[in-house]
């Protein structure tokens, strides 16, 4: 049986429409400010701004979902990144971490920034304001290291 290009195109369009009904869960837990990283650690204003701009979308319950998170399969990919980000480091629940776990998370935090692994390039390419300058990196790393002393 020979399938022509028009049939293939119709099938692809139908699949694209159908998958739109399978969106990501965008519900977030209300943030308890007394457990939030910025509230608990009280960083300087510039550091807090850097963290909230470059980290909080994927690593907290304060995610801002842009319009393209409504379009599958892109939404699935972004939703997975957010789930994974919160699993590794959740700034909204910082106050629940034990001292040992918090210290380990701080070490991972500055190492990821230092090595240029965070924030992800796929994120900063769409969110230019989240890209860290060398000055931002140095300031953030130095401040996070002071928390470990």
- Residues 90-149 have pLDDT tens digits of 999 999 999 999 999 999 999 999 999 999 999 999 899 999 999 999 999 999 999 986
- What per-residue confidence (pLDDT) applies to 2? 75
- Residues 53-98 have pLDDT tens digits of 999 999 999 999 989 889 999 999 999 999 999 999 999 999 999 9
pTM of the model: 0.84
| Three-state DSSP state, 144 | helix
Flag whether pLDDT at 37 surpasses 90. Answer: yes
- What per-residue confidence (pLDDT) applies to 110? 93
């Amino acid at each position: 049986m020979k399938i022509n290009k028009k049939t293939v195109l119709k099938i692809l369009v139908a699949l694209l429409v159908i998958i739109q009904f399978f969106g990501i869960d965008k519900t977030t837990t209300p943030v308890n400010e007394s457990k939030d990283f910025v509230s608990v650690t009280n960083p300087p204003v510039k550091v807090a701004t850097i963290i909230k701009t470059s980290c909080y979308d994927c690593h907290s319950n304060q995610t801002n979902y842009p319009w393209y998170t409504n379009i599958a399969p892109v939404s699935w990919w972004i939703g997975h990144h957010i789930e994974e980000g919160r699993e590794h480091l959740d700034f909204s629940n910082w106050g629940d971490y034990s001292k040992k776990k918090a210290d380990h998370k701080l070490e991972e935090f500055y190492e990821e920034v230092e090595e240029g692994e965070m924030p992800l390039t796929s994120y900063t390419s769409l969110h230019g304001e989240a890209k860290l300058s060398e000055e931002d990196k140095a300031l953030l790393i130095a401040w996070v290291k002071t928390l470990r002393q």
